[in-house]
Structure 1
């Protein structure tokens, strides 16, 4: 996996590049202090798997960089690594097309998981990010039933839940489980009813909370 790193604080940039380079299968191709430098680097060498970028940087920040990548280099995945956990910033990043949104408070293992999932074509958002979105939507964050085994979830529903949390589409889930897309949607609706959530974000949050993925 060939990665470009963008972070405007030089010490953090060097530390992040060193951390990423220590992960098996990752090559940090170059380091940059703003999004414009990243685009210039891609003009020279576009054979890049992913960009790991800060959100707030001078000249060109993570949001504008994400928009530019989607337009000019759609094959390049982007993971935003930031301290910004405000719902507005998160939603702006998702609308721009970010493949991942990870907070800088994350442990190394979470970052590794995020990069692996994103490289495989999935989305990844930190649990805190999902919680912020859930609170913004007015969802209940403290379920009355505190353990998954107390809820009558079938094995097939659990299989669907895990794949939803990994950002597979309904069609992809159907193919993996050898069922129809209509059946997948039925399982999704049943899960929402059983878990008392209103959206897919609620399902993902539940799966993350109980470490189902």
Structure 2
């Protein structure tokens, strides 16, 4: 791989110097500039600075990282952009990739992972740091475990009449209104409602309706 020319955009001098020291110690990397904000990056590019990779923070004055990503991607699409930030929320990650970033790292990332990420995006790939990747996976596992499974009414042994009552309960009808619609006594409707609560192991009627919606029994 030819020497990779890197431009840093980071408004914390100590952090910027630390990254520069790490990258300059690598045989294949050369930091050709380090600036405080996105405006300075754009000025350098507009003046003809040849850059392969921009490593940028998100939260900076004047032109922030997201705006920088968008403008560089539109005007200099050959330049790879790698985010290095403390901001780990899903919205920032998604927006950065949407605007054209090729990688996203959290600032506590290890040196080896940062170097790998730069090499990976230079080869045409995209990279999300391990911490964020595992965070997304853990959230997906939680969502999957909490995802209700649609039930076949036969599994609950619900009668057609109970399903009719359930549908009307879901539409907000009272026991008395349901009794009139189905030509049943109010006591019979109350019995069906209690059977539904018992069969679905719900605490009360609102919990019954929630269960029914989550499991596709009513819509």
Q: 2:211 is matched with which residue?
A: none
Q: 2:15 is matched with which residue?
A: 12
**Who wins on radius of gyration, i.e. which is larger?**
2
Alignment deviations for residues 149-171 of structure 1 (CA, whole Å, 9 cap, x no partner) = xxxxxxxxxxxxxxxxxxxxxxx
RMSD: 2.0
1:56 paired with 2:64, answer no
Report the alpha carbon displacement of residue 46 of structure 1 after superposing the two structures with TM. 4.0
**Structure 2 SS opposite 1:15:** helix
> What is the number of equivalent residue pairs in this alignment?
142
> Residues of 1 paired with 2:132 and 2:102: CA distance?
13
Conservation of the 8 A alpha-carbon contact between 1:85 and 1:129: yes
Q: 1:127 is matched with which residue?
A: 130
Q: 1:116 is matched with which residue?
A: 119
Q: TM-score if structure 1 supplies the norm length?
A: 0.63
Residue pairs, 1:33-72, within 5 angstroms = 33-72=36-75
Q: TM-score if structure 2 supplies the norm length?
A: 0.61
> Residues of 2 paired with 1:76 and 1:69: CA distance?
7
> Residues of 1 paired with 2:124 and 2:84: CA distance?
18
Residue pairs, 1:1-213, within 5 angstroms = 1-135=4-138, 138-140=139-141
**Structure 2 SS opposite 1:11:** helix
Report the alpha carbon displacement of residue 97 of structure 1 after superposing the two structures with TM. 1.3
Conservation of the 8 A alpha-carbon contact between 1:87 and 1:132: no
Report the alpha carbon displacement of residue 60 of structure 1 after superposing the two structures with TM. 1.0
Alignment deviations for residues 91-149 of structure 1 (CA, whole Å, 9 cap, x no partner) = 111111110001111110000100000111110110222233345xx5117x9xxxxxx
Q: Which runs of 5+ in 2 are unaligned?
A: 145-219
> Residues of 2 paired with 1:89 and 1:71: CA distance?
19
**Structure 2 SS opposite 1:8:** coil
> Residues of 1 paired with 2:134 and 2:125: CA distance?
19
Q: Which runs of 5+ in 1 are unaligned?
A: 144-213
> Residues of 2 paired with 1:89 and 1:131: CA distance?
17
Conservation of the 8 A alpha-carbon contact between 1:4 and 1:51: yes
